[in-house]
C-alpha cells in the first residue's frame, strides 16, 4: 500500500480498489450460472438411494395390513361387549341365535335389542363370525375374524373372543370354539 499524504489520494485509491473487486465478482458470476449435469445426477442418485431405504424401512403394505387388523381387533372387542350385554340382560343366559357370519348370524339380534347400532363389517368387507355351543345349548359363544398380518407366525390366524375364558387372543384357524 502506497504512502498516502492527502485524503483525496486515499479516496481515489479506495474507489479504484472497489471497482477492481466489483469487476472480479462480476467475472466470477458470469463464469458459472448453475450446477453441472454431473452434480445434478449425483444429488438425484443420493436422493433415490435415501428414498429406497426409507420405503424398505417403513414397508407401507405391511403397515396397511396391520391397520386393517387393528380395526378388526377393535370391532371384535365391541361385538364381544355387546354379546356380553345381550347374554346378561336380554338373553337370560343365552347368546343370540343362529350362529354364522355377518348379518346372516345372530349378530343381527344385537342391533334389534339395542346393544349395537349396526353390525360392523371388516375393513375389506369381510364378516365377523359367531359360533355357539355349550350345555345348555347356546350358553357359550366364540367370535372371530381372520387376521391379514398375524404376530404369531405364518398361516391362518384368527383374532378370537371366547366367552368361556372371557378374553380375546390370537389363535390358529379352527381353534376358536366356544
Give Cα separations from 164 to 64, 141, 160, 161, 167 (angstroms).
Answer: 32, 7, 12, 9, 8
**In the chain, domain spans:** 60-172
Is the confidence at residue 3, as pLDDT, over 60?
no
Per-residue pLDDT at 77: 93
Give the model confidence (pLDDT) of 60-98 as tens digits: 888 899 999 999 999 999 999 999 999 988 777 889 888
104: which DSSP letter? Answer: G
Give the model confidence (pLDDT) of 125-161 as tens digits: 888 999 999 888 888 999 999 999 888 888 889 999 9
pTM beyond 0.75? no
38: which DSSP letter? Answer: H
Give the model confidence (pLDDT) of 11-62 as tens digits: 555 555 555 555 555 555 555 678 999 999 999 999 999 999 888 888 888 8
Residue 133 CB partners (closer than 8 Å, separation 6+): 140, 141, 142, 177, 178
**Mean pLDDT of the 117-127 span:** 89
Amino acid at each position: 500500500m502506497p504512502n498516502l499524504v492527502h485524503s483525496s489520494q486515499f479516496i481515489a485509491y479506495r474507489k479504484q480498489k472497489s471497482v477492481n473487486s466489483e469487476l472480479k465478482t462480476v467475472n466470477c458470476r458470469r463464469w458459472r450460472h448453475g450446477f453441472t449435469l454431473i452434480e445434478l445426477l449425483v444429488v438425484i442418485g443420493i436422493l433415490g438411494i435415501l428414498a429406497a431405504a426409507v420405503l424398505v424401512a417403513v414397508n407401507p403394505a405391511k403397515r396397511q395390513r396391520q391397520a386393517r387388523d387393528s380395526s378388526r381387533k377393535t370391532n371384535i372387542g365391541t361385538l364381544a361387549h355387546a354379546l356380553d350385554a345381550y347374554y346378561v340382560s336380554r338373553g337370560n343366559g343365552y347368546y343370540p341365535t343362529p350362529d354364522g357370519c355377518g348379518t346372516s348370524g345372530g349378530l343381527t339380534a344385537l342391533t334389534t335389542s339395542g346393544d349395537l347400532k349396526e353390525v360392523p363389517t371388516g375393513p375389506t368387507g369381510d364378516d365377523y363370525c359367531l359360533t355357539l355351543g355349550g350345555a345348555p345349548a347356546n350358553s357359550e359363544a366364540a367370535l372371530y375374524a381372520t387376521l391379514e398380518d398375524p404376530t404369531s407366525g405364518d398361516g391362518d390366524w384368527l383374532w378370537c373372543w371366547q366367552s368361556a375364558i372371557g378374553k380375546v387372543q390370537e389363535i390358529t384357524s379352527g381353534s376358536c370354539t366356544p
